[in-house]
């Protein structure tokens, strides 16, 4: 071995000093729900926070990013998105019939980048028939592409003719081409449907106990899954260590899901007094998804015929009633987690939800808690949602004070995910 080769071998085998990055700013919301810190230095090593130091200080040799007067807070979490979806109404039907799995994956990646640049470093993807988002989840985790951390539900489960039945409104001779492993009727079938998704490697189970606004049948928004079916889904999911998110609008479907032990109710549009008691006794989260109305309004403004008549009637109802459930849930002490249903609303504009949450009874502080520590708890991810030593270095920065005006979160200037800067303006 030559001397040069020997030196090269020594250098290759020598320990490499870990790169240390320090983020500095005048105001830092390390613990959502508590008062922000003054000037602070956040020390980051190997993608994780190692210390929060008062003032502006840094270890020797560290890379320092001084954000000046910016307001720093944890990376935001959206608990309800559909990254592979952009269209709605008639356009969504066409998209579903013409898009390939590969194109869906690229669409999901594109929407994921928009979401990440908006300051949302983690999302829970609640429904994807092709598996595109499962693939994107793994590609991001492997470092092959950028995007938010994804908690994925795979195919959403419902009864035959329910909200997740993709054959609704299609000609019968097309039904055989549609994957229907996510449909279940009866206890045994519902257990099997959950296990099919577990086998695919999903992180969470999504079911529908009621009809949906975008369901292309005239069966309404009431309960569509029996109590024993809902219980079978929840018990099977929990047996496999998976939480259960439940799409539910009508009162009966909400209450059946909560009684069965669901972990979150999505939309939850028509709660009653029993609903609020069940939320409190079960500890389930409510995910309001108020932003859907923005998507509906924008599509209708562009095309009054964007939705077929059976859907348009429900869209108009949703426009009128959205927010009223949150106005009941907040004073009742129901736990709230942030979720937009992006895909119905626009990807990259997830922060529009904050303004609607505040409009319907929350404060900027509690809305931010819903998008950080509460959402992290719902998703079961223990090291995100706050800025603490040992946590993932997920953080964002905005101009202005989001605790005084939550709308400033619509314009995020700086995004870091896992210690890597993905946006800096």
Question: What pLDDT, in 10s, does the model give residues 122-155?
Answer: 999 999 878 899 999 999 999 999 999 999 999 9
Average pLDDT, the chain: 91
Candidates 396, 418, 412; CA nearest to 72 is 396
Report the alpha-carbon distance of residue 289 to residue 215 in Å, rounded.
Answer: 17
Report the alpha-carbon distance of residue 105 to residue 297 in Å, rounded.
Answer: 27
DSSP of 82-148: -TT----THHHHHHHHH--HHHHHHHHHHHHHHHHHTTEEEEEE---SSSHHHHHHHHHHTTSS---
pLDDT, mean of residues 371-385: 98
Report the alpha-carbon distance of residue 241 to residue 263 in Å, rounded.
Answer: 12
Residue 23 φ/ψ, nearest 5 degrees: -100, 125
The pLDDT of residue 166 is 63
pLDDT by residue (tens digit) across 242-275? Answer: 999 999 999 999 999 999 999 999 999 999 999 9
Reduced to 3 states (helix: H, G, I; strand: E, B; else coil), residue 54 is: strand
Confidence at 10, pLDDT banded by 50, 70, 90? very low
Whether the Cβ atoms of residue 123 and residue 148 lie closer than 8 Å to each other: yes
The pLDDT of residue 360 is 98
pLDDT at residue 281 greater than cutoff 80: yes
Topology alike, domains 10-74+386-424 and 76-379: no
pLDDT at residue 95 greater than cutoff 70: no
The residue extents of the domains of the chain are 10-74+386-424, 76-379
The pLDDT of residue 72 is 98
DSSP of 240-270: TT-EEEEEE-SHHHHHHHHHHT-SEEEE--S
Residue 75 carries which DSSP code? P
What is the CATH architecture of 10-74+386-424? Roll (2.30)
pLDDT by residue (tens digit) across 319-364? Answer: 999 999 999 999 999 999 999 999 999 999 999 999 999 999 999 9
pLDDT at residue 293 greater than cutoff 80: yes
pLDDT, mean of residues 210-225: 84
Q: Give whole-number Cα distances, 300 to 19, 293, 296, 303, 306, in Å.
A: 51, 11, 6, 5, 6
Question: Which position has the higher pLDDT, 101 or 290?
Answer: 290
pLDDT by residue (tens digit) across 170-207? Answer: 556 655 656 678 899 999 999 999 999 999 999 999 99
Which CATH number applies to 76-379: 3.90.1150.10, 3.20.20.140, 1.10.1660.10, 3.40.50.12780? 3.20.20.140
pLDDT at residue 88 greater than cutoff 70: no
Question: Which position has the higher pLDDT, 425 or 53?
Answer: 53
pLDDT by residue (tens digit) across 16-38? Answer: 346 999 999 999 999 999 999 99
Confidence at 169, pLDDT banded by 50, 70, 90? low
Minimum mean pLDDT range among 92-106, 295-309, 366-380? 92-106
Give the tokens for residue 67: 């954000």
The pLDDT of residue 181 is 83
Cα first-last separation, the chain: 50
Residue 342 φ/ψ, nearest 5 degrees: -55, 135
pLDDT, mean of residues 393-415: 98
DSSP of 373-421: HHHHHHHT-TT-SS--TTSB--EEEESS-TTT-GGGGGSEEEEEETTEE
The pLDDT of residue 60 is 94
Whether the Cβ atoms of residue 386 and residue 32 lie closer than 8 Å to each other: yes
């Amino acid at each position: 071995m030559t001397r040069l080769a020997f030196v090269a071998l020594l250098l290759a085998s020598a320990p490499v000093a870990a790169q240390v990055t320090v983020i500095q700013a005048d105001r830092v919301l390390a613990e959502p729900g508590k008062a922000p810190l003054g000037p602070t230095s956040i020390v980051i090593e190997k993608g994780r926070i190692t210390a929060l130091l008062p003032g502006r200080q840094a270890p020797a040799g560290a890379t320092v990013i001084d954000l000046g007067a910016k307001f720093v807070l944890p990376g935001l979490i959206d608990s309800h998105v559909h990254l592979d979806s952009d269209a709605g109404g008639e356009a969504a039907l066409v998209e579903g019939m013409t898009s390939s799995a590969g194109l869906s994956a690229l669409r999901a990646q594109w929407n994921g980048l928009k979401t990440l640049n908006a300051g949302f470093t983690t999302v829970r993807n609640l429904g994807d028939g092709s598996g595109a988002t499962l693939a994107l989840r793994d590609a991001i985790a492997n470092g092959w592409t950028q995007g938010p951390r994804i908690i994925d539900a795979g195919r959403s489960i419902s009864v035959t003719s329910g909200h997740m039945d993709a054959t609704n409104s299609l000609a019968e001779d097309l039904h055989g081409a549609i994957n229907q492993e996510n449909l279940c009727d009866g206890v045994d079938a519902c257990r099997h449907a959950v296990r099919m998704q577990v086998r695919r490697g999903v992180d969470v189970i999504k079911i529908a106990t009621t009809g949906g606004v975008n369901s292309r049948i005239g069966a309404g928004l009431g309960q569509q899954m029996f109590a024993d079916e809902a219980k079978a889904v929840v018990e099977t999911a929990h047996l496999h260590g998976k939480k259960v998110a439940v799409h539910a609008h009508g009162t009966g479907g909400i209450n059946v899901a909560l009684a069965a032990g669901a972990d979150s109710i999505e939309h939850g549009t028509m709660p009653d007094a029993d609903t609020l008691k069940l939320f409190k006794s079960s500890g389930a989260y409510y995910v309001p998804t108020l932003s859907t109305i923005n998507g509906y309004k924008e599509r209708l403004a562009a095309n009054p015929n964007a939705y077929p008549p059976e859907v348009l009637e429900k869209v108009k109802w949703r426009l009128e009633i959205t927010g009223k459930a949150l106005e009941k849930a907040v004073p009742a002490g129901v736990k709230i987690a942030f979720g937009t249903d992006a895909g119905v609303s626009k990807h990259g504009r997830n922060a529009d939800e904050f303004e609607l949450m505040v409009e319907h009874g929350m404060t900027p502080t509690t809305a931010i808690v819903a998008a950080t520590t509460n959402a992290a708890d719902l998703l079961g991810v223990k090291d995100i949602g706050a800025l603490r030593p040992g946590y993932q270095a997920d953080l964002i920065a905005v101009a202005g004070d989001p605790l005084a005006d939550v709308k400033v979160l619509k314009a995020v200037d700086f995004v870091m995910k896992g210690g890597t800067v993905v946006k800096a303006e």
